[in-house]
Structure 1
Amino acid sequence: MSLPLNIAILGAEDPAAAQEFYAAVLAPKVQDYGGFFRSDLHGAGDLGVTDVSALAAEAGVSAEGSGFGGYIIFYVLEQPSEVVAVVEAAAAAGAEILKPAKKALFGSFSGAFRAPDGAVWKVSCERRKETAAARSPAVPVETGILLGVQDPRASTAFYTALGMEADRDYGAKYIDFTVAAGQLRLGLMQRKGLAKDVGIAPEGSGFGRLVLSHDAASAEEVDAVLSRAEQAGAVITVAPAAQEWGGHVGCFTDPDGIAWKIASA
């Protein structure tokens, strides 16, 4: 059993305004499900935006939270000039620039910003020099969620117990998991290191305004994922059950408090 990360759902005070921001900065393909916005990030994963209170209630957690939410969204592009363009577009649309786009360590190029909804983004390129003409809109090579955890090794054990397979493993410094085409990659870093990387304070508590979601193939898969998660140390926040609309849904929080939604249609 594997656990692809199909969509990262962000909670916002004003979902429509948040979606307008992402439309201006990322130019995704968007579907509006009556206040729940699902954006296709150019075939490199999906991003959801919805009301923060509704999102917390659906995940079975309190909507209260403050400070660092314990994660960043990463957006990997082909060219340094594309990184500059996205960071500048974010600033023009109202983002707080945490780190300007510039040359970084180990031959990379990156910048970071905090979106008006509070989500922190790192935009990067693996090279410092242009190798081709920049695309407009910039199309990501990869997108994903990088979690700031207390113990990367323990978190790795948790996620491998759910069926994920470690890919790049640099011990306690950085670990990520294999990713299929069209999905979001999940990675792990120590919380303090991750916060420092994007220029923010590591302190924070409560709901981080994020729910990670896996689209299960069946109700049986939903039940199996929730069972394995609980055995591995998760807290079940919503017991898996049939829904009025015909689906089957359950939710849990991982050992660091990150909320997950497992749902079948």
Structure 2
Amino acid sequence: MNEQTRHTETTLALDVVTLAGDLPESKEFYATAFSPLMNDSAGTVEVDMHGTGRFELAPMTAGVAPEGASSPFPGYVVTYALAQPSEVQAVMDAAASAGAQVLKPAKKALFGSFSGSFRAPDGSIWKVAADSNKNKGEAVAVPRPTEISIILGVKDPKASRTFYQALGLKTDRDYGNKYIDFQPQQGASRLCLMQRGVLAKDVGINDPGDGTGGLTLSHRAETSEDIDQLIAVAESSGSRSATSQAHEDESGSGHFADPDGFRWNLSTSK
């Protein structure tokens, strides 16, 4: 079988999304904008986004390469899906009052949806959206997302799909180079792919720039052997860089960058 298309028995999963920035500022912003569960942990802040995704807030100096951090577009969008327009407006208002830069005010959008977008103080871009532009009931005090997606702006979505399929991700919706996403693990964020320029324009940014901002995607593997296998497949499938390391306590760690430079960290809990 061709190594570019072969699949690994160990499946990559988007377990944690790390956003790097000024840690005290980030902690205050996310607490105000989203009211998630937060826990300080070894110089970072663990964030549980109401059971739909696990995030980590980290200082820019915590080993996260801020490639392209000065670009107007960091190369990705976090989509925060809610049940109805009133909840979208509530989150947009909370984010703006906490220091976000509104890129697109919340309003009716394509296909009967309702959405807005903003840039968080750490430079990450968020799109807050509801499938319907009509309210179905009273807005709750703390809007809870129905799903969180991490959309990567890539050069060639179909080529990136092949890369991630080789690592075991299963395609869910596939519209060619317009939009592709993968089946998420329970309680985890969904990984999606769009052309970089199209994605930037969708959230109100004309210059797509380059680089990956302060984003790191993390996978928690069962064993160090699983990490070695994922690294080997990533290398043979077009990764920009990939390394793995075994530790004395039999745990393991590693990292790779996908063909567009988005960084993944791999680690075990042992």
Shorter-chain TM range is over 0.9
The answer to whether residue 29 in structure 2 is matched with residue 21 in structure 1 is: yes
**Which of these residues, 96, 99, 103, is aligned with residue 98 of structure 1?**
103
Alignment of 1:1-265 (within 5 A): 1-12=10-21, 14-56=22-64, 61=65, 65-67=69-71, 68-237=73-242, 239-243=243-247, 247-265=251-269
Deviations 1:63-87, CA, capped at 9 Å, x for gaps:
5643121101111011110000000
What's the CA shift for 1:135? Answer: 1.8
Contact 1:216 1:264 in 2 (8 A): yes
Residues 73 and 55 (structure 1), Cα distance of their counterparts in 2 relative to 1, 3 Å cut: farther
Deviation at 1:218, TM superposition (A): 1.1
Measured in 2, the distance between the counterparts of 1:90 and 1:77 equals: 15
Contact conserved, 1:73 with 1:120, CA < 8 A, in 2? yes
Letter in 2 for 1:15: L
Cα distance, 1:244 vs structure 2: 6.9
SS in 2 for 1:159: helix
Give the match for residue 7 of structure 2. none
TM-score by length of 1: 0.93
Output one character per residue of 1:159-204: Cα deviation in whole Å (capped at 9) or x when no partner. 1011011111111110100112201100000011000000013332
Q: CA RMSD in A?
A: 1.6
Taking only the aligned residue pairs, the percentage that are identical comes to: 47
Structure 2 CA distance, aligned partners of 1:27 and 1:244?
Answer: 39
Q: What is the CA–CA distance in structure 1 between the aligned matches of 2:110 and 2:162, rounded to whole Å?
A: 29
The one-letter amino acid paired with 1:54 is A
Q: What is the identity, as a one-letter code, of the residue corresponding to 1:161? A: A
Instruction: State the alpha-carbon separation in 1 of the partners of residues 174 and 105 from structure 2.
Output: 28
Give deviations 1:45-104, integer Å, cap 9, x for gaps. 111110112232xxxx56564312110111101111000000000000010000011110
Partners of 2:66 and 2:214 within 8 A in 1: no
Q: Normalized per residue, which structure has more helix?
A: 1
Q: Which runs of 5+ in 2 are unaligned?
A: 1-9
Distance 1:246 1:89 in 2: 45
Structure 1 residues 253 and 36, CA gap change in structure 2 (3 angstroms)? same
SS at match of 1:157: helix
Letter in 2 for 1:225: L
The alignment partner of 1:204 has SS state of coil
TM-score (normalizing by structure 2):
0.92
Say which SS state the counterpart of residue 228 (structure 1) adopts.
helix
Opposite residue 50 of structure 2, the aligned amino acid is H
Equivalent residues of 1:10, 1:49 under 8 A apart:
yes
- Which consecutive unaligned segments of at least 5 residues does structure 1 have? none
Whole-angstrom CA distance in 2 between matches of 1:259 and 1:204:
17
When residues 206 and 149 of structure 1 are mapped into structure 2, their CA distance, relative to the original with a 3 A threshold, is closer
